[in-house]
Amino acid sequence: MQNDLSALEKQLAATQKEIDELSAKQKELQDNQEKTKTAYYQTQITLAEQDERIKNQQSRTKQLQQELESAKEKYEQYAQELKELIELKRADERSEDIDQIISKRKLEKEQLTKEIQDMRQQRSSHSQWIADQERELKEANKHHAQQVQEIQQKEVHANRLDVELENHLSQLSADYAITYEKAKNTFAKVDNVEETKQSVRQIKSAMEALGTINLGAIDEFKRISERNAFLTTQRDDLQQASATLRQVISEMDTEMKKMFGETFQQIQAEFTVVFKELFGGGHAELKLTDAKNLLETGVDIIAQPPGKKLQNLGLLSGGERALTAIALLFAILRVRPVPFCILDEVEAALDEANVVRFAKYIKTYSSNTQFIVITHRKGTMEQADVLYGVTMQESGVSRLVSVRLEDTKELIGTTQK
């Protein structure tokens, strides 16, 4: 079996060597192809520049031709004028003006003749340059065609090598179930390729004799991996949500501590003032049971009615406790006003004097807050604007009665009359 594996390694190495050679050839052809393409593109640029120069020279030649034609026309015109002047001179040799004109025209003729010769020389020079450029252009086109043909041949050869390399790689994957990179890194080169191939065939036959492989484990692993990834994602989401909630709770706790502290300080200050107003003196204050933990702290109410010692609310009488609680209520309303407030017999434990003081105190707040008071105390009802009650004039029959106290003066006056 060890000999078979050695032979197989040799065969794989031979295949790898062949693949390396093909890869090297392919790389060389690709390099040559890139160089040829570069030369081809450079030739195209040179041809374009030469075409542009030829077009410019052709345009210049056309312009010189037009100037030459114009000069010829002027020359013929001057020759005709000279001829006419000569005839005039023969007819009247005594005219000095004609002699001057003839001299001037001769000079102009000589200048035009020189210009015509110069233009002809320029045209000849430009014609020769154009012929040279056209000859160079033909040579460049010929060279360009040769390069294109070479590129096509190299591309065909490169495609053949690609197909051959792909066939070898496919054979390596199909016959040996291995990639080129893994074969290169795992196995060494072999010397006897045929012997290695024979060993590989024998090993493959032995592997086929083992029977099919149960792939259920692969599917199970895939399913469990997907489930694990899903649960991991859910866990991460929950952890992130938990961290976000904890951060929000922390921010809310901070804000609540700030708001509670500010509001408590305001209520404490107002409570002291309202307590004095309701009791006609004395002193009261609010204290936190745990000032360092504002979210869980309790509040102690310390009150000192006039003529008594400062003591806890639980040690006061029922009426004092009720009036102290009413003072705290009004302190809260002064800090946080509300549009209306319902009071249900809050003054039931008060004596008559404190009831009157309580009712008048509510009266001072009625301009900003509407109070609905359920009571049986006369002192409270006397300060109300409107009274609502239920009477039973007949057994089992209840009737709602309302009285607006601001109208009582008119009713009393009418009754007296």
User: Is 137 within a domain?
Assistant: yes
Say which CATH number the domain at 101 has.
1.10.287.2610
DSSP code for 367: T
C-alpha torsion 117→120→126→129, nearest 10? -90
pLDDT at residue 399, as a whole number: 81
The amino acid occupying position 314 is G
Angle between helices 216-279 and 318-335 (to 10 degrees): 110
Residue 92 CA to chain centroid, in angstroms?
Answer: 101
pLDDT at residue number 417:
46
Radius of gyration of the chain (CA): 60
In a domain, 107, yes or no: yes
Q: Which CA distances in Å does 291 have to 178, 270, 294?
A: 75, 19, 6
Q: Match 């000079």 to its residue by tokens.
A: 107
Determine, yes or no, domain membership for 82.
yes
The per-residue b/e assignment along 112-140, b for 16 or more CB within 10 angstroms, e otherwise, is beeebeebeeebeebeeebeebeeebeee
Task: Tell me if 335 is assigned to some domain.
Answer: no
- Domain hosting 150: range is 2-186
Q: Total domain count for the chain? A: 1
The C-alpha atoms of residue 264 and residue 270 are separated, in whole angstroms, by: 10
* pTM (predicted TM-score): 0.42
- Beta pairing class for 299-304 and 283-288: antiparallel
How far is the C-alpha of 279 from the C-alpha of 301, rounded, in Å? 15
SS3 label, residue 394: strand
Is the residue at 321 inside a domain?
Answer: no
Q: Is residue 28 part of a domain?
A: yes
- Is position 103 within any domain? yes
Query: Does a structural domain hold residue 220?
Result: no
Q: How confident is the prediction along the chain (417 residues), in pLDDT tens digits per residue?
A: 455 556 656 666 666 677 767 777 777 777 777 777 777 777 777 777 777 777 777 777 777 777 777 777 776 776 777 676 666 656 555 555 656 766 777 777 777 778 777 777 877 777 777 777 777 777 877 877 777 787 777 777 777 877 777 777 777 677 666 776 776 677 666 667 677 777 777 777 777 776 666 667 677 778 888 889 889 999 988 999 998 999 888 888 888 888 888 888 888 888 888 888 888 888 888 888 887 888 888 888 888 888 777 666 677 778 888 888 888 888 888 888 888 889 898 888 888 888 888 888 888 878 788 888 898 888 888 888 888 888 877 777 888 877 776 666 555 555 444
